[in-house]
Structure formats: C-alpha cells, structure tokens
Amino acid sequence: MRAVTKLSAAAFWGSAVVSAWAPQFGWKSKPQGSPGPSGPHGPNFWNSSQTQGSPWPHPTSHPWSPSGVLPQNATNGLSSWGTLDHPDFPGWVDGPLPQGCPWGLRQQNDTNPYNEKNVPNTGMTRYYEWEISNKTMAPDGVELGLLVVNGQFPGPLIEANWGDWIEVKITNNLNEGTAMHWHGFLQKGTPWYDGTPGLSQCPIAPGKSFTYRFRAELYGTSWWHSHWSAQYLNGLSGPIIIHGPVADQYDVDLGPVMLTDWFHADYYSLVQQVFFASEVGPIFPPNSNNMLINGKNNYDCKNTNLTCTPNAGVSQFRFQSGKKHLLRLVNHAAEAVIFFSIDGYKLKVVANDFVPIEPYYTDLVTLGVGQRSDIIVEATGNSTDAVWMRMTEGPSGLGPPRGQTGCSLNDGHGVEALAAIYYEDADTSIPPTTSNTIDNSRIYFPLNCNNQPLNLTVPKYPIPVQDPDVTLNFTMSAKYNSTGAFKWYMNNETYVANYNDPTLLEAGLGNIDFPKESRVFDLGTNKTVRIIMQSVGFPASHPMHIHGFNMQVLSEGIGTWDGVSITNPENPQRRDTQLVQPNGYLVIQIELDNWGVWPFHCHIAWHISEGMNINLMVNTPYVTNEMEIPYVMAQTCRDWAAFTNTTVVNQIDSGL
C-alpha cells in the first residue's frame, strides 16, 4: 500500500486575488441602532429571555400561533415541508410488484444489500429536473439570501424504491460553481456521479447543466447537498427516501424531519471567518444563531439588525391516536451535534443511516452532521392532545461555565427548535403546553458528544469482522499554519482540491502521482482496510463520513484504543457517518468492493473546509486501466475551464 499524498500557503490563499470574486447574496440589514420591527418581542415573547451569557436552558413561554404570521412562500418558498398539508408517504412508489412489492421476498435480516445480485432489478428510473438559484426567504423570520433548488428550502424530495435508478438534471443559475452529492449512496460503477468537485468531477459552471445518474443500492433515509465549499448551509440540501423492506411495523410514514443549525450570514463570509478565528478573539468562530426543524423556527428579532419578522412559525406534524408513526431524522447542519426528543414519548430506533438495526428504545437521539436515524413513535395520547417535538444543540461550547458547555457553538439566542405535533382532534391554533423532561447533563460536553453506545446498534443483517489486509493510522489535529490560518490535519497534512483537475479523472488516465495536498492513499487490490483515528489537541467531535461504502464501526471512545477491543465482532454497527469523541478514538473497517477514489472526511462544514479529508483509491489497476469514464465528464471540465479562463475563482478553502 502506498500513500500518494505539499500544501502551498501562497497557492491556497491566493492573496493577489482574494477579493476578485465572491458569491452574490441578497442581505437586507437595518441601520445600526434602529429598532426591530413592531411585534410581540417584549417580556411575553416566547424566547425573549434568550440573551447572550444567560444560563441554559432559557425559560420560554408560547403565546403565539404555531402557524406563524409569515406565509409559507416567505419562510420556505415553494416548499411544503413543515406544514400540516404535507402528505404522508406510502410504503413504496409506483413500479413493478413481484410477489406483491417492488423488492419481492427480500427481507432486512436475510438479504445482503452490498451484494449487487441482491439489489432488485426494478427497471425503473426516477427523473428530476432542478434549477439552482438565489432566493430571499425567512425560515425563522430573518430575511436571508438563500441558495435553493426549484425555489424550495428545504429542497425537494428524491423518492424511489430500492433498486431504482435516479436521474437528476441540474442547471446552475448561480454566479459560482456547484456540485451535488447524494449522501450515503454507494455509486458502484458510477463514482464520477458522487458529486465531489475536484475529486469526482469538475464543478458545474454557471449557466451550465449536468445530469447525475446513479442507483438506489441501499434503502432507508438520506439527504442530498452541495459539496462545493460550505454552500449547503445556505439552503442547498434536501431529503431522500428510498423505500425498502420493513421489519418493524408502523402505520404512518410522516417522512423526513430535517434538523439543522442556522446562521444569519452567507457561507462565504463564515468560511472566511473560521480560518482566523480564536476562542479569545478578536475574530471568533462562527456561532449558530438558531435551529430549524424542516426549515422553520421563530427568532427574537431584537437580536439582529437584519430584516426580521417575529413569530414566523414552526413546523407542524399530525399524529393519529393509537397509530405508530415513522419519522426519518436527518442532521443536515453545518456544525451542530443535535439532540432530538418528543416530550414524554419513547422513541423506537430502527435504522441508522442506510442500515436497518435491531430496535431499541430511548427518549433522546443524538445525531452528528450527516447522520440519520429512523424512529417509530406510538401515538398513545388522546385525540385532542398536542405535544412538542424538540431538538437542541445545547449551550455553546464557548462561554458558559466550565462543566456546562455543549458540544457545538452558538450565540445563546436560539439553541432549541420546536415543532408542534397535533393529534387528529387537537386545536391547531393553540401551541402545545408539554415540557421537556430531558436532564440538561445529558447534552453537556464532553461525555455526550458521541453517538448511542455501539452495543445498542446491531444491524439486522449480520456481517462479522474479518482480519484486515491493511491498516491505516491517523492522528487528527489542528493548528495555525504559517499564514496564520487555522487548519485541520490528518497525520500533519491537510487537503486541498483542484477544481480544474479532478483526482478520479486523472487516475482514469493512469496518472496517480498526485501532489501531497490531494491526500490520496493507494490501497491497490487490498480487499479490506482498517482505519484507526486518534483525535488529539483541540477538543472537538468529528462526524467522519465515508463516501462509496458503509463502514463497520469496531470501537470508539475517549482516550486511546487498546488495540484489541471490538464491540460485537460478530456483527458490529455499520453506517456511513460516525462521531469521533473529543480527544477520543474511532476504529472502523471497510470492505473494499467498490472501485474508485473515495473521500473520507469530517462532515462539520468548517473542518472539511479547513482540510480534514483523505481519499482512498480502491482497486487501482481497474481504475487506471479499465475504468470507462463517460464523455460528459470531460465536457463538464471544458465548460468549467472556459468559465475559469475569464473569471478568477477565489477558492478560499479546501473546495469540499
């Protein structure tokens, strides 16, 4: 095995062109010192008590209508997410039904989904046409210039059956490049459609279109998002449902519950900020301003100088008495570790990422960025009941007294999002009055900046751990480089993409002598790799996401791995994203059955922007000698080259 991996500070920062280009955002600010808009943000406004430096949690009252004062098109554009009018979801979408359903007799516990022969050959393709553009919206009442697909935030749903093909034509109407990633999809045989600019493709140039085509080889819940810099945190993300076998029965599929932190700033300025930030200032790290559930929440307008409307409205869901409801939780945040609960209810967890698991019960689900959990909730209340769904990132990791800090960074004004759940006969004009019963200590740093214990998360289909062919060890660390920029490192190296020269396409030409900043690790023809990661120094959690595979999660914890312990070696947890605890370790293993060049990176937007990524080259002889890349990939690069010949692209971060 060979590590093919020099970072030029001058090339990275490009000081001569630092102000030559920036994306266009439509921000509306009030004059400094001007009062907020009139409205209920006095002592009785629901979060008027949330002030910087005050203790957490903040006392709240709820004298408002959950539907809010802003219409849906003002908060979320053409999206219907978060409204009671949004339909429930069927067990599958139209298509052939062998033995009565699209996947025939295949079951979760007896079918290996990673064997391509087991994937249903449905013969169906699901077609989508998307246009990316700028649009002003106010998801929490604060007007922002968002980047959106088809005028919607959150973005449109992709829905298919297991085994279907998915085809998405994207037209880029921005003044910058973009690329779309289909989180958790294996992309077997289609690695060029993984959507990683500088790795699997050149970016889609402004004014140009590109069509992705890939197969739903796994099933469950996921999401799509832009992989150009931190673009997605300004709106370019949305849910995915792939229908497949069900072992744990439910009555109603309520669909995706999209959970995110929210920033009242454009991604470009936030990325600029993060490189020179310090916890003691004068430049501080980006702190989230709010949290959203399905793109909605309220905000106390006295805390912003931007145009703001109080009581914008929260998301709403419908429960049916006595029924079991499936909720598909997705963390599409920039940075936050998210804690999800429903007041007074137990949550039955039945899947993590694209992996069905043996069910377990909890009252609090923890999700790092990029992670998903499917939960089933039984409506045990009366037909007139109403209850709060809530999610929080807790107190900020900076500011509160030691021992009361959280796992993420926020300004203390909007650390929680609520959504109203109404039973069938409930009065939807009145907010729920339920209370949170989760003890605050369960979300404090550092012991809770992790996922549920591995012994709870057992996959339905068992795959035992094999002896690895090769082992890679990585030390995860952070420091300021010679330019004064804060960077994240794996084994003292950091990643930078070359948008004009994608790694996969170069490998397809037989060129694998990559520069060090490409961070390519050539695994040759090895069949399995074990990766041992150790986080040191700066104490942060890292949701590590692998493209092209699900990884077996062998061991994790605080401190150092003992080199021996594996949780449930007969059938360890599998998923595509797993949290590394602050100053902790993570041991994972991957079966290398998918040729290509695959990134493995931290999914915190700031950390990947600051270079926390490695790339695994799998089955190198096939990639360099036999891989047939579609001609459209070269055309996309020609379009991008034509754009960059006339426009200076100020790549201020890693590119991913």
For residue range 486-533, what is the model confidence (pLDDT) as tens digits? Answer: 999 999 999 999 999 999 999 999 999 999 999 999 999 999 999 999
Helix (H) or strand (E) holding 328: strand 324-331
pTM: 0.91
**Residue 64 confidence (pLDDT):** 61
User: Is 178 inside a domain boundary?
Assistant: no
User: Is 431 inside a domain boundary?
Assistant: yes
User: Is the domain of 503 the same as that of 610?
Assistant: yes
pLDDT digits (tens, 9 = 90+) for 35-65: 333 332 232 222 222 333 333 444 443 446 6
**Residue 470 confidence (pLDDT):** 98
Q: Which residues contact 107 (CB under 8 A, 6 or more apart)?
A: 245, 247
**Extended beta strands in 85-157, E state:** 125-137, 144-149
Number of independent structural domains in the chain: 2
Tokens for 508?
Answer: 């397809």
Whether the link from the prior residue into 154 is cis, omega within 30° of 0, is: yes
Tokens for 531?
Answer: 């990766």
**Residue 328 confidence (pLDDT):** 98
**Residue 128 confidence (pLDDT):** 98
User: Is the domain of 580 the same as that of 517?
Assistant: yes
**Residue 487 confidence (pLDDT):** 95
Query: pLDDT averaged over consecutive 10-residue blocks of the chain (656 residues)?
Result: 32 26 42 32 27 39 68 97 94 94 96 96 98 98 98 98 98 98 98 98 98 98 98 98 96 98 97 89 90 98 97 97 98 98 98 98 98 98 98 89 87 95 97 94 92 95 98 96 93 97 97 96 98 94 98 97 97 98 97 98 98 98 97 98 96 96
User: Which one of 393, 416, 449 terminates a domain?
Assistant: 449
User: Is the domain of 523 the same as that of 604?
Assistant: yes
Range of the domain at 361: 36-88+134-151+247-449
**Residue 67 confidence (pLDDT):** 80
**Residue 39 confidence (pLDDT):** 31
User: Is the domain of 340 the same as that of 416?
Assistant: yes
**Residue 118 confidence (pLDDT):** 97
User: Is 197 inside a domain boundary?
Assistant: no
CB neighbours of residue 447 within 10 Å? 13
Smallest CA-to-CA distance from 77 within 29, 143, 168 is with 143
User: Which one of 428, 449, 470 terminates a domain?
Assistant: 449
Tokens for 305?
Answer: 């100088």
Give the CATH number of the domain where residue 469 resides: 2.60.40.420
Q: What is the C-alpha separation between 363 and 57, in angstroms, rounded?
A: 18
